[in-house]
Structure 1
Amino acid sequence: MKYAIKKNLLTTLLCAIFPVISIHAAVPSLINYQGRLTDASGDPVTGDKTLAVAIYDAASGGNLLYSESIGVTALDERGIYSFQFGAAGTSIVTKSETVGTTDGTLTVYNKVLTETALTNTVSITDGTYTWSQTSGSSSPSDFLGSFDSGSGTVSAIYISGAPAAGRTVTVTYSCEVEGISGALAGGAEHWLQLSVNGIVQSTRDRVLAVPFALRSGVSNTSLQADDLAVQQVLWRPTMFDSNITLPIRITTSSSGASRYANIPVRFSKISQIKLDCYLPYSGSFGYSSEVELVILRSKEYVNEVLYTFSKTSSATVNGRITETLPVNIELDPSFIHKVKLTYETDTGTAYIYDCVMTVDE
């Protein structure tokens, strides 16, 4: 059965997720993931669901870096599920190898790749000429490349005669390797995409830098629709020392869109909040935008607002703003405490660059 979300019923519940290795390690080899599924009425989705994960280098589109089939996973009576991933999947990595160094005599240089190259990912360069499977040669009358997928051999061929000595001929290609470490290495962003019963969650979850703390959002899923993919509204905080850092540069172009984040129970007080955002304003049309930050607590589905801050754009408040808010709120461990950001707009797109709460344990 496919799932769908009614956007006006979206909520999020952020669950602490930590790698199954020391946080001092550069890249984890195994990661815990936890989340919760509810239907459009807020009731938990229970039973067995088939889950899969994939990691891309962008929030949408982008290149696949890792994929793993989790298999059948049990959801408890609250709709909560958890699993580990990172060992049984496949990373897609880019490798570079030296084909040879020109000697002023040879016109053909061959190399058998150490790994199996993925289709249409092989490219060759000597710093002057380039060739790739997808684009061909930069100078077909002077330089050509070839790749034999059967033997894994690449060839760099100089058509117009041997080049000068001293050029390094390099081949670059993509290949598959076991485990998640290859996907998380390097400087790319990492965005995790969850699939439930074969249906891709249309919003991806950011995999943050060390300690690679993942946060999962709640999907309010409707079991009544059969043709729509699941969507999620996700907010990914990280915790360092006495600060909780909420997402950096979140686009909130949908007017009225709200994002929630749970405050971990171990914290007893919020002493201040620093908010950094961008509010567009169009005076010629009378258009403005507003950001609202609310701290609330809840028990048994009843919410109580503890603190509210709002800012509206104008001719004098237009563009990036920063606010330091001395909130001083005591947190009662018998309640669930949340922070919510809402953006209303008539024009443009707002960005929430940073939201940092200073907390006490």
Structure 2
Amino acid sequence: MDFSHSKRAQDTIQQVQQFMTENVLPIEQEVMQLNRKLNNSEDWRTWQALKPIEELKALAKQHCLWNLFLPDDQLGQGLSCQEYAPVAELMGHSLIAPEIFNCNAPDTGNMEVLYHFGSTQQKRQWLTPLLAGETRSVFGMTEPAVASSDATNMQATIIEEGDNVIVNGTKWWSTGLGHPDAQFMIFMGLTDSDAAKHQQHSMVIIPLDTPGVTIKRMLTAFGELDAPYGHGEVELTDVVVPKTNVIAGLGKGFAIAQGRLGPGRIHHCMRAIGAAERSLALAIKRGQTRQAFGNQIINLGGNKERIAKARMAIDQARLLTLHAAWKIDNFGVKHSMTEISAIKVVIPNMLTEIVDMAIQIHGGAGMCHDTPLAGFAAMARALRLADGPDEVHMAMVSRLELGKYK
């Protein structure tokens, strides 16, 4: 295997790096402060798009730094999973960066679903505006009343009735639900409980203004609402949508989810590695510019050893993720389950440790919003649950490993 960057990847990395340095990082504090003002209210639907973000999105389009995650040279830049990985890492240096390049979750995953599995009509109506950055979307999978670590516990239903489907159920931790530009949700539910275990569920597109769709509340994560990107709880009561909104046919929900979550985990993990790199850099700068007990903080309390271990952990995590991306590109998601599950455990835990170290070196400054560290800490902890908890992924790795010895 070869992890060296292709010429196309090198060019994109250089352009994104320059764009981040010149345009994104300088406005980060301003944008985060504006976002936090929304945390005083749960009514995000009336919020107006932030001018700095919208201006940079337009500039990113002009520079052809748009939809970089999509392996299509007409709709994106045609980067493979492995080529996109270091680009995602650069975006991970800032919590506001992914949207600027139209590479933000859950829209990337939803765009991949529609791109790979959507009908011509679905692509025209829902994918095209997402690709243009004109709308945002939501993904509804996790439910409050069951242990969602086992997706087969899902209680929400999608029932066929003539030319329509009737949808009922409650979803929560649905990212982007309160965003004013969110137009639709890809909703996963139970269709046929008598079918084979992984052919019981379906995915359907539900416009958020459909009668019966009620946004119940926005959810805090560690006390923060994370407006306008955060998560919410939505209830669907006898929601009727045409059967043409079902993606790839009834019973295909798990097959779609398998394809959606593989590349998406590469994106999450590489962004987390970018967050770890920035956390390490902030820790070093802080340690070299502050003194205590007559010495630089970097020289006290074993901090040099912590810096060394952080460098080793980041580089190990990156290689593991690049290997997973390489394997997806060459063998597909189905044959990369060990690698995908492994990075889902290793990278968020690595980020947790490095951010914690950086916060400790910063003291009180690391716990407030003067730096991005508190946001990175919340992100790291959330990733240990998002797309499945650590325990589920370790069970997958152990099952596949033990299977080699049958």
**Structure that is richer in helix per residue:** 2
Which structure would you say has the larger RCO, counting Cα contacts within 8 Å and 6 or more residues apart? 1
For the pair shown, the structure with the greater C-alpha radius of gyration is: 1
Query: TM-score, normalising length from structure 2?
Result: 0.27
Query: TM-score, normalising length from structure 1?
Result: 0.30
**Structure that is richer in strand per residue:** 1
